[in-house]
Amino acid sequence: MVQLPPVSENRGLYAAAAVTAAVGGGLLLRRALRQTKPLAGPYTPDTLPKGAYDVIIVGAGPSGSVAAYYLAKGGARVALLDKEHFPRDKICGDAVCTPAIHILEEMGVIEELKAADEVRFADNGGFVSPSGLSYIGDSQHKLGTAAACAVRRIDLDVRVARAAQRAGADLKEGFEVGKDVTLDKAAGLWTVQSTDGKTVTGRMLVCADGSTSRLATQLGYCTAPPQGVSSRAYIEGGSHNANFDGLVFYPRWSLPGYAAIFKHAKDELGFCYYLIPCGNKAQTGQCGNCTADDLKRLHENAIKHDPFISRAMGPNPKCERMRAGSLRVGGQGLTTTFDDHLIIVGDAAGFIDPLTGEGIHTAMMGGKAAAEVLLACREAGDFSKRSTRLYEQRWMELFGHDFKLSQKGAELIWRFPILLDACANEVQRQGDAMMSKWAEVMTNMRPKTYFLRPDVAIPLGFALLREIWQQKVMKRPDQYVMPAAAKQQEQQHAVSGAPQAGGSSSPARRRRRQRRRRRRQQQKRQRGRGAQAGYQ
Ligand SMILES: Cc1cc2nc3c(=O)[nH]c(=O)nc-3n(C[C@H](O)[C@H](O)[C@H](O)COP(=O)(O)OP(=O)(O)OC[C@H]3O[C@@H](n4cnc5c(N)ncnc54)[C@H](O)[C@@H]3O)c2cc1C
């Protein structure tokens, strides 16, 4: 018979078992108690006043139109309001990631885009790392589907809005929502007025009016303007040298921001330069070593002088004038995304990924999640925040849980650009297998934690050692350097006192240089004091 040791000898073991049981039990209890359905309430569909809507959606971009489509399909009365008339342009890189492609397929929009030759699926693509390692591969045959496609927003948004309209949503174009937006709490009804005096009423309000969201700001849910920014310019088909579908460039001077080229239908190119909020002052517009003021210079220098981008552009690209738009990343500036009778979605809620600057797919996923929750609320008759909170739970599960890690990732590659070189090194070694993993993580098909899995992290660790060896010991020359003319411009910019962009040194190296300079000055002062005191 097995003899158990006396209790006193096993105290540690029992304590560990008790803690494990308590933590496990706590988690199970939390999961069991977690609310999964809206509560019952008084506002069932039969109580809706004549002429009122179940849901009023402000903004018919990807988030608002997708929400309207699924709500209308589910039988709700929906008003979809937009200040513009469609088709209208939206400044964007036009790269639509896989989760959005799936939603567009469900809505029948992909078929329409294909038939009209307005979409190009990215069969091959890749990236260029800060030290100039590059890889262009074919991830599609590994993934079985394209990781992204490119569609001009002027073509995409009109089709998504019309799909919502066909599903039964009441699309009101040229309806600019003004300051008069009020909730009658007793009646459970919003009244929304346009700037020219038209009025709609409804049980729920969905703010989907984009990154500067006037609505969420005036209602007090958004407390700061968006801090990220990106440029865009189209390049006429046939006037460039790009022989790939999509390529991302990480020049070290604008990290964690990056430049990207996507090929559209009819051989046209879309070029964007993203500046991603990062650093101690990210809340006030710091984007690594850059600010929004640097965008125009970076964009134009990249097209003319960047060793990789200018090669893809060719000698005479027919390039349109640069335009820019703001990026609200990782929920920046938002106090909440739900309240009584209210939901905030898409860019208005800061659904842009803090590492990639992309937000069409999260806008659509968020729009669909909002519709699912609101249909359940409508059936239960409750639109209080005790029920609408299910929406925040849902978008956090879908993609929001990734935002913190994306933010950390952006911070890391800004401080240690060699990490991106290590990724490029490993992609070069493994080829398309690794490229497809990279593409899946960057397009939200897999969470960022995927990079922490041992089978991914260990090879990346070895790649990092290889890069340290080659860059620090073997002194491999940096291949991502600007030619002299552009460098001079960057130096003038640095002298003028603005944050340095375009320099080839990393923040860590700059700090080391500053420390050395301070030490030298201190030694000089000490020598001076010593000389005065007659010690030398
Ligand atoms: C330069 C740039 C490049 C980008 N590149 C990419 C990319 O390549 N891939 C990607 O996934 N994401 C990209 N993004 C992000 C992407 O554009 C957004 O995440 C996406 O458009 C969010 O959709 P949305 O429906 O939330 O908002 P929006 O698309 O901004 O739609 C908001 C709608 O609300 C309407 N509206 C605003 N105010 C009112 C009002 N008062 N009354 C009525 N209507 C109103 C507007 O007219 C608009 O139609 C980029 C962004 C920028 C700025």
What does the pLDDT read at residue 26?
60
Peptide bond into 256 cis (omega under 30): yes
SS (H, E, C) 63-98: HHHHHHHHHHHCCCCEEEEECCCCCCCCCCCCEEEH
What does the pLDDT read at residue 490?
57
What does the pLDDT read at residue 394?
97
Q: How far is the CA of 81 from the centre of ligand 1 (A)?
A: 14
ipTM score here?
0.99
- How far apart CA 4 and CA 289 sit, in angstroms, is 63
What domains are defined for the chain?
46-401 (3.50.50.60)
What does the pLDDT read at residue 530?
39
3-state DSSP call for residue 246?
strand
What does the pLDDT read at residue 534?
31
Within 10 angstroms of residue 159's Cβ, the number of other Cβ atoms is 22
- How far apart CA 289 and CA 413 sit, in angstroms, is 12
3-state DSSP call for residue 330?
coil
Q: Residue 527: what residue type? A: R
Q: How far is the CA of 199 from the centre of ligand 1 (A)?
A: 24
- How far apart CA 473 and CA 470 sit, in angstroms, is 6
Q: How far is the CA of 360 from the centre of ligand 1 (A)?
A: 8
What does the pLDDT read at residue 514?
78
The residue whose C-alpha atom lies closest to atom 10 belonging to ligand 1 is: 358
Q: Which residues line ligand 1 (CB under 6 A)?
A: 58-64, 81-84, 90-95, 175-177, 208-210, 214, 230, 232, 272, 325, 327, 346-348, 352, 358-361, 363
What does the pLDDT read at residue 23?
60
Per residue of the chain (536 residues), give pLDDT as tens.
434 445 455 665 566 566 666 666 665 555 555 677 888 899 999 999 999 999 999 999 999 999 999 999 999 999 999 999 999 999 999 999 999 999 999 999 999 999 999 999 988 889 999 999 999 987 666 556 677 899 999 999 999 999 999 999 999 999 999 999 999 999 999 999 999 999 999 999 999 999 999 999 999 999 999 999 999 999 999 999 999 999 999 999 999 999 999 999 999 999 999 999 999 988 889 999 999 999 999 999 999 999 999 999 999 999 999 999 999 999 999 999 999 999 999 999 999 999 999 999 999 999 999 999 999 999 999 999 999 999 999 999 999 999 999 999 999 999 999 999 999 999 999 998 898 888 889 888 899 999 999 999 999 999 999 999 999 999 999 999 987 666 666 555 544 433 444 344 566 777 777 788 777 777 766 554 433 333 22
